[in-house]
Structure 1
Amino acid sequence: MTNSDIVDLLELTGRLMELHEQDAFRTRTFTSAAFNLDKSTADLANLPVEELVKLQGVGKSIAQKIREIAETGRLTELDELLAQTPQGVLDMFRIKGLGVKKVRTLWHELGITNLRDLQLAGENGQIAKIKGFGASTQEKILAALEFLQEQQGKVRMDKAAMIANLLVEQLTPHFERVEISGQVRRKAQESDVIQLLIQTSDPVSAMLTLNGFENLEQDVRESSPFVWRGHRTGFDVLVELLFYPAEQLSRQLFIQTATEAHLKQAGTGGMPLLQVAYASALPDSVNTTDVAEVEAAIYEKAGLPYIVPEMREDDFAFRWASRYKNEELVTWEDLKGTLHNHSTWSDGKQSVADMAAYCQKLGLTYFGIADHSKTASYAGGLDAERVRQQQLEINELNKGFGSGFRIFKGIESDILGDGSLDYDDETLASFDYVVASVHQTLTMSEEKATNRLLRAIENPYTTILGHPTGRLLLAREGYPIDHRAIIDACAEHNVIIEINASPYRLDIDWHWIEYAMQQGVMLSINPDAHDFAGLLDMHYGVAIGRKGGLTKAMTFNALTLAEMTEYLERRRAEIRR
């Protein structure tokens, strides 16, 4: 059991205790423990009770509950609460804006025990009539339900990759060759199919092998003699396993990776890429098991430039290829530092010193701390005095580094409702850079949201615009903005735009990367890291950057330490003038 697993079970127990109106003091012990342990770096599953009780928010009772979870994977008290709670009521917790009290009210007053009944109650106007709800809440619930329905059966990029890799690990001992294909190989930000290609000359035997795995559940009606479709136990997303003989697999990997729109593109001979891939004989010099050779040969025969797998979405890639070369696309190795990160000063799990040391292990040459600002009190945001204290700590830490590494002093300053930042100019001037982000009051019209961001961009202290739409993939739509107006304003005021690399966000959307580059706006691949693992999320940011055609030259944190230092110092000097 991971820390996250344990915290999730404690949090759910506290939530269900509140739902069933159990003792308030005991309920708080669970919710408080979950809140405090969410920041803990201790290995909770392997700590004895006497060590657990030393952690903040953990008494002897909770420590024993943690041991029960660690040893059994379950919690008896939670199982009892779940037995008393309809699954549909649990599903209601997925609706943004519905807290425990509102869920309890909907359950007990309207008798709603599933999302379908919740939708009907909203459409019939029943929700609006409940005291404390009203027409506005009813409208938001219906919008959230519609969004959840659209996202059903999808997983984020990180989970898609995890499932695909688990399948590869499971299947490889039984088949000569297994390849990840489709949306996962194309680095889609969301996937509704996890597709793998399996090399076999005996599809019947292959099907029997797959159906012998206890954790693979076949959908017989959707399958065929050459395609296994179903699910992996524990995941809702569709799994699709395609069977091909050895001589066809690499060619099919190319075909199955690209979208239909990409494969429709015609080359110099007028033949669509798909037809070329199927019809053309490959040169004898091409090794049919070498995917790169096969794919390059197909593009060459079509008279089209080679397109990297991430960009095989539509005709955009070919327009991009008329101006750039694949070698110009940003890579992980191009990144020299990271600029949007959190520490224990706000809601991070590691100290500034430890996060910086981990960045050094990753081969980076600078680490930028951008803890939450004072408005984000829920995340331990820093007031002006704590800002000064943190900066003194950073000064001392920087004395211990040689010329090859540096910690930059930043902040993630909240953009307030009127577009202003939540510090005075004196405090803002003390930072090396400022990431300006919206965190609260997310329900806005396009005009209001755009104007709010425009004012923040116009602030001379704004260095980077953080996660521009505030979206959470598969959980919350972003607020609507005029992307062109925002990007144009960033170009005018020399503001960098963030590609928030957290797989929960991946914001700004990749479709707008090309326009930003055309306008001369650099993009910063920022992990928004709250712990060591979060720093590695830059891999997802690189994938999305490449999908949108981001070049190393237009990647802000591909600047060397010397270049970044000079850039930030020059910008601060311009503000002082």
Structure 2
Amino acid sequence: MDHKTILKKIKLTIQLMELHDENTFKIRSYQSALNSLERGDADIMELSEDELSKVPGVGKSILEAIKSLKESESFPQLDQLLEKTPQGILEILQIKGLGPKKVKTLWEELGITSTHELMEACQSGKVAKIKGFGEKTQDTIIQNLEFKASNAGKWLYADIEEVLESLTDKLENELKESKVSLVGEYARKMEIISQAEWLIGAGNISSVKKKIEDLEDFEIDATQSGPFSIRGKVKSVDLKFTIHLCSLNDFPVKQYALCASPLHLQSKISENLSIGDALRANGFKNDSEFFSQHKLQYIPVEMREGYGEVQLALEEKLPDLLEEKDLKGILHNHSTYSDGKHSLRQMAEYCKELGYEYLGISDHSRTASYAGGLEIEKVQKQQEEIDQLNKELAPFKIFKGIESDILGDGSLDYPDEVLGSFDFIVSSIHSILNMDIKRATSRLLAAIENPYTTILGHPTGRLLLRREGYPIDHKTIIDACAKHQVAIEINANPWRLDLDWRWVRYAMDQGVMLSINPDAHEMDGYGDMKYGVLVGRKGGLTKEMTLNALRLQEIENYFSKRKKELIQK
């Protein structure tokens, strides 16, 4: 068990209590405890019973529940609720937009106890006829079910990274005479991984196959495997895999081919020769030698997607890509002032400890009441604390920011006099997400045109594998950011990675700066900067076009000059 898993178990208990009409007072007490534990700074696993009992809302029954969770990964109340809940109902509870009350209605009125039954009921129009649902809710459920089905068995890069790297190490140790390489989507640092792929070059392929078949980590599907491939599932996770086998001599060409996307392989080196054609000639020891032979600039593996990188390499116009060490500060972070886990001081001191020169704090604005959004008095209190901390932590600096909600009409949260008190503002949409492309684009344009917007936050609002983003006209949005000198965020949270890497080069070409922001709600969230850099690099992002690659004095000047020129017109 760990801190997050305990919180998930308590949240599931609350959902099931609501589903089964448990005592309202008891549900509220559990919710109160959950809120306190989520906002607390300490790790539940490290807290003693005495320390836990002092957490607001944690009474005797919840204390016993946590104790039991630590020891046995469950507790009696949860066990009893799970016992009387069909397994399929638990799956339905995970569908976006369906809370326990609606799930209970579907269960009682239509006898729905699985996602399959729910889809059938929606497609036949039965759900729309239930009071409180309607056609719109029914259509949304269908979309969410389809989205969930299309993403089954897929993983975020960040969530599968440790598993795949560990398996690679194991393969290398078992096959010491062979060459082992991760290839495919993972090698190109794709944001979503649908299959793990390895290439193994060996002198004796039969011997290698036998050793792999003896490993307990792989569930091999013999019907899908062949003489030079092993297919199946990685046992520890629901992820398909393919292990490609080849001779040591063929390893360089196979490695290149399997690491590149089909579009990259189709890209032309000359009028009559594609990358794929050139690879078939085989006669290089590694990819660096291949590029040299064909008078191409070296193309990093993560860029081999077929998005014009070959033409740039022919013209020697590929830039030096951003590296994590180029980043000098971290913008867009949350503290306990809104919905963060750690205090402003903790977030600042840890940021400084990591070697950064500055921190941009940007807690939620007041409209985001669900996330503890800051009322004006709280803004003033936080800014006073920032002034005091800046005296203590100098030369490290905390910039006063806010993540201002973009309201339904595109305006920003807070009156102008409050907006003017911040050093920078991240403007983001968090509500009314069911927009068509026209409304979403218009709403974002209004926010971009507001002189107080410094950075456009997670432009599409997507949550990878969880929720599709609202559709936007990317070119129109990027062009507007160029006109109004607004930077665009690459939200580095692995669930977001938004702006999508496919639009990075267009943004840079228009002169729009990108900002790698972790949207950190706790100190460990700073580690997500790595994933923002990975997707930035996929799009060709450079240090020069990255806002938070600016040194402290440079970004101070950037913020103050921008406010002077745009806000004080």
Q: Please, what TM-score do these two structures have when normalized by structure 2?
A: 0.95
Report the CA distance between 1:273 and its aligned residue.
1.8
Instruction: Answer yes or no: is the 8 Å Cα contact 1:178–1:197 preserved in 2.
Output: yes
Question: What is the number of equivalent residue pairs in this alignment?
Answer: 566
Q: For residue 84 of structure 1, what is the aligned residue in structure 2?
A: 84
Q: For residue 456 of structure 1, what is the aligned residue in structure 2?
A: 447
2:490 partner SS: strand
Q: For residue 6 of structure 2, what is the aligned residue in structure 1?
A: 6
Compared CA separation, residues 79 and 199, structure 1 to 2 (3 A): farther
Q: Could you list the per-position Cα deviations for residues 383-442 of structure 1 after superposition, in whole angstroms to 9, with x for gaps in the alignment?
A: 111001000000001112333x21100000000000001100000000000000000010
Matched to 2:180, the amino acid is V
1:448 partner SS: helix
Q: For residue 66 of structure 1, what is the aligned residue in structure 2?
A: 66
Alignment partners' CA distance in 2, 1:323 and 1:496: 28
**Structure 1 runs not aligned, ≥5 long:** 283-287, 289-293
Which has the higher mean CA deviation after the structures are superposed, 505-514 or 385-394? 505-514
Q: For residue 276 of structure 1, what is the aligned residue in structure 2?
A: 278
Report the CA distance between 1:484 and its aligned residue.
1.2
Alignment partners' CA distance in 2, 1:326 and 1:69: 53
Alignment partners' CA distance in 1, 2:197 and 2:83: 36
Compared CA separation, residues 41 and 204, structure 1 to 2 (3 A): farther
Alignment partners' CA distance in 1, 2:251 and 2:25: 61
2:272 partner SS: coil
Q: For residue 572 of structure 1, what is the aligned residue in structure 2?
A: 563
Compared CA separation, residues 212 and 107, structure 1 to 2 (3 A): farther
Q: For residue 495 of structure 1, what is the aligned residue in structure 2?
A: 486
Q: Quote the sequence identity (%).
A: 47
Q: For residue 357 of structure 2, what is the aligned residue in structure 1?
A: 365
1:400 partner SS: helix
Report the CA distance between 1:324 and its aligned residue.
6.5
Alignment partners' CA distance in 2, 1:267 and 1:43: 55
Counterparts in 2 of 1:348-363, with a 5 A limit? 348-363=340-355
2:360 partner SS: strand
2:273 partner SS: coil
Alignment partners' CA distance in 2, 1:173 and 1:17: 49
Q: Could you list the per-position Cα deviations for residues 40-66 of structure 1 after superposition, in whole angstroms to 9, with x for gaps in the alignment?
A: 332322433222212233223222222
Q: For residue 510 of structure 2, what is the aligned residue in structure 1?
A: 519
Aligned pair 1:332/2:334, yes or no? no
Instruction: Answer yes or no: is the 8 Å Cα contact 1:163–1:194 preserved in 2.
Output: no
Aligned pair 1:415/2:398, yes or no? no
Alignment partners' CA distance in 1, 2:425 and 2:125: 45
Q: Could you list the per-position Cα deviations for residues 1-37 of structure 1 after superposition, in whole angstroms to 9, with x for gaps in the alignment?
A: 2211111111112212221223333333433333332
Compared CA separation, residues 80 and 212, structure 1 to 2 (3 A): farther
Alignment partners' CA distance in 2, 1:435 and 1:468: 11
Q: For residue 164 of structure 2, what is the aligned residue in structure 1?
A: 164
Alignment partners' CA distance in 2, 1:51 and 1:212: 48
Instruction: Answer yes or no: is the 8 Å Cα contact 1:267–1:303 preserved in 2.
Output: no
Instruction: Answer yes or no: is the 8 Å Cα contact 1:466–1:497 preserved in 2.
Output: yes
Q: Could you list the per-position Cα deviations for residues 521-544 of structure 1 after superposition, in whole angstroms to 9, with x for gaps in the alignment?
A: 111111101112211111111111
Counterparts in 2 of 1:37-186, with a 5 A limit? 37-176=37-176, 177-186=179-188
Counterparts in 2 of 1:337-348, with a 5 A limit? 337-348=329-340
Compared CA separation, residues 196 and 57, structure 1 to 2 (3 A): farther
Alignment partners' CA distance in 1, 2:57 and 2:30: 9
Which has the higher mean CA deviation after the structures are superposed, 406-415 or 72-81? 72-81
Compared CA separation, residues 68 and 326, structure 1 to 2 (3 A): farther
1:424 is aligned, of 415, 423, 428, to 415
Counterparts in 2 of 1:546-557, with a 5 A limit? 546-557=537-548
2:223 partner SS: helix
Q: Could you list the per-position Cα deviations for residues 265-293 of structure 1 after superposition, in whole angstroms to 9, with x for gaps in the alignment?
A: 232483332233342222xxxxx5xxxxx
Instruction: Answer yes or no: is the 8 Å Cα contact 2:268–2:310 preserved in 1.
Output: no
Compared CA separation, residues 536 and 325, structure 1 to 2 (3 A): farther
Compared CA separation, residues 69 and 172, structure 1 to 2 (3 A): farther
Q: For residue 475 of structure 1, what is the aligned residue in structure 2?
A: 466
Alignment partners' CA distance in 2, 1:299 and 1:332: 26
Q: For residue 294 of structure 2, what is the aligned residue in structure 1?
A: 302
2:368 is aligned, of 353, 363, 376, to 376
Q: Could you list the per-position Cα deviations for residues 282-325 of structure 1 after superposition, in whole angstroms to 9, with x for gaps in the alignment?
A: 2xxxxx5xxxxx11112223343321111111142124446765
Report the CA distance between 1:79 and its aligned residue.
3.6
Matched to 1:55, the amino acid is V
Matched to 1:379, the amino acid is A
1:217 partner SS: strand
Report the CA distance between 1:82 and its aligned residue.
2.7
Q: Could you list the per-position Cα deviations for residues 200-221 of structure 1 after superposition, in whole angstroms to 9, with x for gaps in the alignment?
A: 4444444444344444322222
Alignment partners' CA distance in 1, 2:522 and 2:21: 35
Report the CA distance between 1:199 and its aligned residue.
4.5
Aligned pair 1:506/2:506, yes or no? no
**Structure 2 runs not aligned, ≥5 long:** none
Alignment partners' CA distance in 2, 1:41 and 1:205: 52
Alignment partners' CA distance in 2, 1:325 and 1:500: 27
Q: Could you list the per-position Cα deviations for residues 424-473 of structure 1 after superposition, in whole angstroms to 9, with x for gaps in the alignment?
A: 00000000000000000101111111111111111111101101111111
1:386 is aligned, of 378, 390, 394, to 378
Counterparts in 2 of 1:208-247, with a 5 A limit? 208-247=210-249
**RMSD of aligned alpha carbons:** 2.0
Instruction: Answer yes or no: is the 8 Å Cα contact 1:456–1:462 preserved in 2.
Output: yes
Q: Please, what TM-score do these two structures have when normalized by structure 1?
A: 0.93
Report the CA distance between 1:95 and its aligned residue.
1.9
Report the CA distance between 1:139 and its aligned residue.
1.1
Matched to 1:242, the amino acid is H
Instruction: Answer yes or no: is the 8 Å Cα contact 1:258–1:309 preserved in 2.
Output: yes
1:539 is aligned, of 530, 534, 545, to 530
Alignment partners' CA distance in 2, 1:564 and 1:468: 22
1:222 partner SS: coil
Alignment partners' CA distance in 2, 1:322 and 1:356: 45
Alignment partners' CA distance in 2, 1:206 and 1:16: 49
1:398 partner SS: helix
Compared CA separation, residues 27 and 213, structure 1 to 2 (3 A): farther
